[in-house]
Structure 1
Amino acid sequence: MTQDPVEVNMRQLRAFAAVAQHRSVRKAADSLHLTQPAVTRAVRGLERELGLTLFDRSSRGMSTTDEGDLVQLRVRRAIEHLEGAGREMDEAAAAGEPRARRCSLVGQVARRHLQAVIAIADHYTETAAALSLGLSQPSITLALRDLERIVGRDLFLRTSRGMVATTCGQIMVRCGKLALAEIGAIGSDLAASVGLVSGRLLVGALPLSGTVLAPRAISQLAAAHPELHVSVIESPYDALLQGLRCGDIDVMVGTLHPSPPNDMVQERLFDDVLSVVVRPGHPLAQRKRLALPDIANAEWVVPYRRTRSRNVFERAILAAGLSLPAHAIESNTVAMVRGLLRASDRLSVLSRRQALHEQRNGQLTLLPIELAGTELQIGVVMRADAIRSAGLEALLAELRALCEEESIGDLQTAATL
């Protein structure tokens, strides 16, 4: 049984899905407008690729095995993403634009089409896309033109900045990524059925809020499951949200949004607040008690605009009757905040858990200032309709265990400061 990413072709998957649906090669062949031998060859080719028997064959028909059920779930979802792309592109047609003929993306789109359009969107030129895939530039151009013929619309505009996806192109890229992600998860699903956590897990960490919790959980996850390949990217909320929607990342860790989008689900792990931090040896570090008016004229390093931390910080300052910091430096990474503070007498804010971590390591000092109304919920964000892989479930278990282990101790420590 394979544990590697599945590299089967779309023809095999379509044939498998049709046989699983109709429980008959003959009926599947009729629905696909193929010959019975062609469908049989495609299904057997998929079974050879996976090293599994996907159907129980009997005189009463063909029923999926347990492994076949797992494959069928992912293949059905991949097909749904492609069908959804066709519907969305039709709905996105501009007023007055001739409606393109409806076509069956599922019946005509191949892996090469999806890989080409995704690579062009990522790299902005056909030449760079070809290099990223190890293909020739003419093959990428041909795949794009073929896909545009299938969908009946232009997917990219050629501009001075390179090739930019049209609205339909953006839909095709997003749905194509989701479809390929479902197919790519088949191998890890099959491995999980025999107790092996493998495959890939892509974690998005929000700056200034996931830098303590996520690394420990991921480190423990990697030690417990060496066959699982974990990648971490730190970006602002909007960028990670886009990554979640197209399957580029599996989970976002950090400060939760008070009004999450309908297509996302959030899980709160613990509550936190913002704390004011300075460099060790800062003149204010010796004070036993401080209030916000005591730092009214301070210079600051603040989170980026439109982040949750920045919003609640500014509300706390204004609620205290103070003016917002003038000439503040904006930074969205703990490393840069740390460096800027250590090189000056500026103040900054971090989540309480992060601030305690920095203080324990002698990097920064937490000031005894109450920032009322800066409560934050820290947790994870996932696509509401996603099937959680074994790797993601294992990460969630590590995060929950760490929160349960540390929360009481951190809150007790915070209460003494």
Structure 2
Amino acid sequence: MASDSPTTLSSAVLHERLLARLRLRHLKLIDALAAHSHLRRAAEAIHISQPAATQMLQEVEGLLDMPLFERHARGMRITEAGRLLALHARMVIDAMQVASDGLAALAAQETRALRIGAIEAAIASVLQPALTTLHAQHPKLRLFIEEGNIERLTTGMRAGALDAVLLRQPARVPDAHRFVPLRSDSVVVIAGIGYPAAQRKRLRLSDLADSRWVLPPTHFAVRQVMEAAWAAEQIVPRPHAIQVLTPQLVRALLSQPDVVVPVPRTVLDQLDRSAVVELPLRMNAPIAPLGILYRTDNAVGPLLLLVDFLVAQAKKKA
């Protein structure tokens, strides 16, 4: 075990140790332990013996001078250090899978599959309407599409596990990256078809004073837009006791006649419009558009083809 204490071990020293002594087999074990929380089951999952797994774990913990898992009677409990390393182990393993797919495609003289990450709104509003035409026009283009939240997907792209991410325009586009907007968006307020004022031609926010609002967290763009609108009209909304973001659960709440929900207009693509009505509020409430983020040095071949196709589809709908 190295002599440096965890409190004095610098990032530079750790980096050099990891580059010099950490092996992919170590990362496979950490990933398996994070998934199984049990040494024997993790060893079986990566096809090594339990004594070998014990030795490998000791090697990694000795390398880092910190425990990654706490042993207890029923298995193992991951530490914060273990959780962090397991996250990056998974990204390295995913990146190696991307490399393997590309090399296999080259060997077979095929086009490698693009790995595309997408948030739920982008899947419904950008990908879903385009996939049938995309496949018809480019049958040899292969896509692997993964849904996730923005933080997880952008981390995956930085690690090389994803070629591009469909998401809302970030406040700052990272260096050596490009964001291409594909669909504009704005805030709308929806209710169920049983909402008392659903058939009116015009509403003001004050007309919704007796309604219960299902609201996103304060850091969401939709919430910030609504906070500004309420402040302008000096309105204090009544929050619903249940706060959800998932469209399927929003639908359930909208069956209650006094419930209203502010959402991005693109969320309407995920809802059954026969059961939902957009309330006729006149709000100038744009939010960040949906688009595709990718590294500029990766914009060749299949990825460039996909970007050009999505831009062309967006222009047709504009």
TM superposition score category, shorter chain reference = 0.7 to 0.9
* Residue of structure 1 in register with 2:210 after alignment: 297
2-side partners of 1:403 and 1:225: how far apart? 20
* Residue of structure 2 in register with 1:379 after alignment: 291
Indicate if the aligned counterparts of 2:28 and 2:89 stay in contact, CA closer than 8 A. no
Tell me the alpha carbon deviations over residues 151-185 of structure 1, each in whole angstroms, 9 at most, x when there is no partner: 35336142778122418x73585277347615632
Indicate if the aligned counterparts of 1:267 and 1:381 stay in contact, CA closer than 8 A. yes
Indicate if the aligned counterparts of 1:100 and 1:153 stay in contact, CA closer than 8 A. no
* Residue of structure 1 in register with 2:312 after alignment: 401
Identify the match of residue 201 of structure 1 among 99, 115, 133.
115
Indicate if the aligned counterparts of 2:117 and 2:153 stay in contact, CA closer than 8 A. no
**1:330 matched to 2:243:** yes
Q: Alpha-carbon deviation of 1:187?
A: 3.8
Matches within 5 A, 1:12-411: 94-95=7-8, 105-106=18-19, 108-149=21-62, 151-154=63-66, 156-158=68-70, 162-166=77-81, 170=84, 174=88, 177-178=91-92, 181-182=95-96, 184-188=98-102, 191=105, 196-199=110-113, 201-205=115-119, 207-208=120-121, 210-218=123-131, 220-221=133-134, 224-225=138-139, 228=142, 230-235=144-149, 237-247=150-160, 249-259=162-172, 265-327=178-240, 329-355=242-268, 358=271, 361-382=273-294, 384=295, 387=298, 392-407=303-318
2-side partners of 1:177 and 1:123: how far apart? 18
Indicate if the aligned counterparts of 2:70 and 2:78 stay in contact, CA closer than 8 A. yes
2-side partners of 1:338 and 1:296: how far apart? 21
What SS does the aligned partner of 2:214 have? Answer: strand
1-side partners of 2:94 and 2:271: how far apart? 40
Task: Name the amino acid aligned to 1:166.
Answer: A
What SS does the aligned partner of 1:303 have? Answer: coil
2-side partners of 1:192 and 1:324: how far apart? 58
Task: Name the amino acid aligned to 2:279.
Answer: L
Task: Name the amino acid aligned to 1:284.
Answer: A
Q: Alpha-carbon deviation of 1:274?
A: 0.8
Indicate if the aligned counterparts of 1:118 and 1:177 stay in contact, CA closer than 8 A. no
* Residue of structure 2 in register with 1:69 after alignment: none
Q: Alpha-carbon deviation of 1:287?
A: 0.5
Q: Alpha-carbon deviation of 1:286?
A: 0.9
Task: Name the amino acid aligned to 2:198.
Answer: A
Task: Name the amino acid aligned to 2:186.
Answer: V
* Residue of structure 2 in register with 1:24 after alignment: none
In structure 2, relative to structure 1, the CA distance for the partners of 1:340 and 1:399 (3 Å cut) is farther
- Root-mean-square deviation (CA, aligned residues, Å) is 4.0
Q: Alpha-carbon deviation of 1:308?
A: 2.6
Task: Name the amino acid aligned to 1:396.
Answer: V
Report 1 or 2 for greater relative contact order, CA contacts < 8 Å, sequence distance ≥ 6: 2
Indicate if the aligned counterparts of 2:167 and 2:290 stay in contact, CA closer than 8 A. yes
Tell me the alpha carbon deviations over residues 167-207 of structure 1, each in whole angstroms, 9 at most, x when there is no partner: 8x7358527734761563254267369973333624231x4
What SS does the aligned partner of 1:166 have? Answer: helix
TM-score, normalised relative to structure 1:
0.60
Q: How many residues were matched structurally?
A: 309
Q: Which has the larger radius of gyration?
A: 1
In structure 2, stretches of 5+ residues that fail to align are none
Indicate if the aligned counterparts of 1:119 and 1:129 stay in contact, CA closer than 8 A. yes
What SS does the aligned partner of 1:253 have? Answer: strand
Indicate if the aligned counterparts of 2:116 and 2:165 stay in contact, CA closer than 8 A. no
TM-score, normalised relative to structure 2:
0.75
Q: Alpha-carbon deviation of 1:217?
A: 3.5
1-side partners of 2:225 and 2:279: how far apart? 18
In structure 1, stretches of 5+ residues that fail to align are 1-91, 408-417
Tell me the alpha carbon deviations over residues 86-131 of structure 1, each in whole angstroms, 9 at most, x when there is no partner: xxxxxx963378x969856555443312222233345544345335
Percent of aligned pairs sharing the same letter: 21
1-side partners of 2:269 and 2:147: how far apart? 23
In structure 2, relative to structure 1, the CA distance for the partners of 1:147 and 1:201 (3 Å cut) is same
What SS does the aligned partner of 2:118 have? Answer: strand
In structure 2, relative to structure 1, the CA distance for the partners of 1:398 and 1:348 (3 Å cut) is farther
Task: Name the amino acid aligned to 2:284.
Answer: A
Task: Name the amino acid aligned to 2:262.
Answer: V
* Residue of structure 2 in register with 1:34 after alignment: none
Q: Alpha-carbon deviation of 1:240?
A: 3.7
